[in-house]
Homo-oligomer: A and B are copies of this chain.
Amino acid sequence: MPLAACIDIGGTKALIGFVDADGNVLAQERYAMAPGRDPEELVNDLADKTRALAQQSGYDWQQMAGLGYSTAGMLDVQRGIVFASPNQGLWRDVPLGDLLKQAFQLPVWLEMDANAAAIGEGWKGHGAGADYFVHVIIGTGVGCGILVHGEILRGWRGTAGEFGHTIIDPHGPLCNCGGRGCLESLVSGPAIAVRAAQVMGGAGPLEEAVDARAVFAAARQGDQAARQVVAETVDYLSIGITNLIHLLNPQVITIGGGVGVGGADLLMEPLRVAVLHRVGSWVDMQGTQILTAKLGEEAGLIGASRLVWKGTSMGSLF
């Protein structure tokens, strides 16, 4: 049975898995990843881990139809070049496609992480069948993948979907990108933690390591300050989602990523109410469904496999 070897790599972790042609993840493993590594060394390490996982799972390397690789950063998927990947270190114009092909000895398809997850969710998740579909990722960063009639909306230089750097509140906090009040500076995991630390001070149940997970846990226990931080997060997010709806009028928007999925029980219902309020009298905007991503953390792997399965008919990129 042919399999797609798939990798979904972010700033702090790599998921490696094998996915069949129906989108079933047959084996997967999660690895902690230190940022700032040399690209070639990273790629060789990933190849070793992937081969070991295949062996351990009883798969032969000959079964592998190709490598689908989902990565953070900005890249030219056609040429296989990573322009920049801030969460992985000071990479500049890295020929990642060639490095991967060499190390894996497989045809390689590259995709940006939010796009790969959108492709997965659009194939086997809640985006299936929607001609206009947006998959939003909220984690350490914030981004989205936009699917129009099943194809990624890439933009001129391939950088469309930088939802996290749309400006939500021009009077808001400074963002890593140098802007002010970007969505990422308001609703990402680190942003939630920073706001929580501000309103909660050093006292209360969160006096130690405040992160988004801890804020959600405290809110579930009724902590008023944590609930306030969650409510603000919903409010900011509702502005971004409203803007997405007005510009793109998608049928379905899914919310994924660690923060989005991890806080779904707290975020989603108030988010739907807030968006409905904000789109207001725009009847035709009210029908957009806002759903928690169905595939969870596997969306990127499944999307990466889709590249391999779609691509085998037209040859690989590398």
**A interface with B by C-beta (< 8 Å):** 74, 83-84, 130-132, 144, 146, 148, 153-163, 165-171, 177-179, 235, 239, 242-244, 246-251, 278-285, 287-288
A146-B247, A148-B153, A159-B285 given. 18 additional CB < 8 A pairs?
A: A84-B283, A130-B156, A155-B250, A157-B287, A159-B249, A162-B247, A163-B246, A167-B239, A169-B170, A169-B171, A170-B239, A177-B281, A177-B282, A179-B242, A243-B243, A244-B247, A247-B247, A247-B248
Of chain B, the residue at the smallest CB distance from A157 is B284
> Given the complex of chains A and B, what is the CA–CA distance between A279 and B167 in angstroms?
10
Assuming the contacts A162-B246, A169-B170, A239-B170, asked whether A156 and B251 have C-beta atoms less than 8 A apart, the reply is yes
Assuming the contacts A244-B247, A247-B244, A247-B247, asked whether A282 and B167 have C-beta atoms less than 8 A apart, the reply is no
| 5 contacting pairs across A/B (C-beta < 8 A) | A132-B154, A148-B153, A167-B278, A171-B171, A178-B281
Q: Which residues of B contact A162 (CB under 8 A)?
A: 246-247, 249, 282, 285
Can you tell how many copies of this chain the complex includes? 2
Q: Which residues of B contact A163 (CB under 8 A)?
A: 246-247
> Given the complex of chains A and B, what is the CA–CA distance between A145 and B283 in angstroms?
20
* Those 4 A-B pairs whose CB atoms lie nearest each other, nearest first: A155-B249, A178-B280, A156-B251, A160-B249
Cβ-neighbour of A243 out of B74, B159, B167 (below 8 A): B167
Min CB distance, A286 to chain B, in Å?
A: 10
Min CB distance, A164 to chain B, in Å?
A: 8
Q: Which residues of B contact A165 (CB under 8 A)?
A: 246, 282
Assuming the contacts A83-B284, A248-B160, asked whether A168 and B170 have C-beta atoms less than 8 A apart, the reply is yes
Asked if B247 and A166 sit within 8 Å, CB to CB, the answer is: yes
Q: Which residues of B contact A247 (CB under 8 A)?
A: 144, 146, 160-163, 166, 244, 247-248
Asked if A132 and B148 sit within 8 Å, CB to CB, the answer is: no
Q: Choose among A165, A246, A251 the residue with the greatest number of B CB atoms under 10 Å from its CB.
A: A246
